[in-house]
A = this chain, B = another copy of it.
Amino acid sequence: MKNLPDKTVERLSQYRRALLVCLADNKMHIFSHELAGLIHITPVQVRRDIILIGYSGTLRKGYDVRELVSLIGKIIDTEEGLRACIVGVGNLGRAIIRYFKDKRTKLVITAAFDTNPEKVKCVFSGVRCYPIEQLESVIREQDISIAILTVPGEVAASVAETLEKAGIRGIINYTPTPLNVSEKIYLGEYDMITSLEKAAYFVKNNRGE
């Protein structure tokens, strides 16, 4: 059950979201093909993932939704919860703050940072904005593990360096600048130009998903 494949982890997150909707609809059991249908993958893949996390369904009822949600929670979340911050309160930063508001209890954005004095000390969707100079101290005080980088590309590298010094453990980079951080730090690169150009290539070549 340890060291799950990359893609399985991504799907677990999606499974949970779909399952929470089921629970809200009072649906207590679900078959692999139903869950597969909700996120548009194959039933086999669902079953394989579920085996990987060490869960078993029952033959005529499928999987117990609550148990599965709880198990996925044990895998993705920590008991005490993790805290994240936004670095760079532009449109994108604000979009993410707002979007995450009240979505998860075990994974919360607790601080934002910006250089603009107008933004500092403002509160965006409940998240306070600090001056970038306080990055290190606030991260340590609030025990923030993950940083979401939404600053302009030119300053991304230097901010990442500061984050590393502050002891951050994961960085999600929405900046166009590829980052170079210690192997110890989880790094997710999500550059939007690449996403769009990739789409352009496949559209051009008439290839669907």
State the A residues within 8 Å of B (CB): 2-4, 6, 9-10, 12-14, 17-18, 38-40, 75-78, 82, 84, 90-92, 94-96, 98-100, 103-104, 106-107, 145-146, 148, 169-170, 172, 176, 178-180, 182-188, 190-209
A193 and B13: CB pair below 8 A?
Answer: yes
Q: Could you give 27 example pairs across A and B, Cβ below 8 Å? A: A4-B201, A6-B198, A10-B194, A13-B193, A13-B197, A17-B193, A18-B178, A38-B178, A39-B178, A76-B197, A77-B200, A78-B200, A82-B203, A84-B196, A90-B95, A91-B92, A91-B94, A92-B95, A100-B192, A106-B200, A146-B196, A146-B200, A183-B208, A184-B208, A188-B199, A190-B190, A190-B195
Q: Name which residue of chain B comes closest to A82, CB basis.
A: B200
Q: In the complex, what distance in Å separates the CA atom of A205 from the CA atom of B195? A: 28
Q: In the complex, what distance in Å separates the CA atom of A183 from the CA atom of B207? A: 9
Q: Name which residue of chain B comes closest to A191, CB basis.
A: B14
A203 and B178: CB pair below 8 A?
Answer: no
B186 and A199: CB pair below 8 A?
Answer: yes
Whole-angstrom distance from the CB of A4 to the nearest CB of chain B? Answer: 8
A186 and B208: CB pair below 8 A?
Answer: yes
Which has the most chain B C-beta neighbours within 10 Å: A18, A39, A196?
A196
Q: Name which residue of chain B comes closest to A84, CB basis.
A: B196
B95 and A198: CB pair below 8 A?
Answer: no
Whole-angstrom distance from the CB of A198 to the nearest CB of chain B? Answer: 5
A182 and B208: CB pair below 8 A?
Answer: yes
A198 and B9: CB pair below 8 A?
Answer: yes
A203 and B146: CB pair below 8 A?
Answer: yes
The residue from B76, B198, B204 contacting A82, defined by CB atoms under 8 A apart: B204
The residue from B95, B178, B187 contacting A91, defined by CB atoms under 8 A apart: B95
B192 and A96: CB pair below 8 A?
Answer: yes
B14 and A178: CB pair below 8 A?
Answer: yes
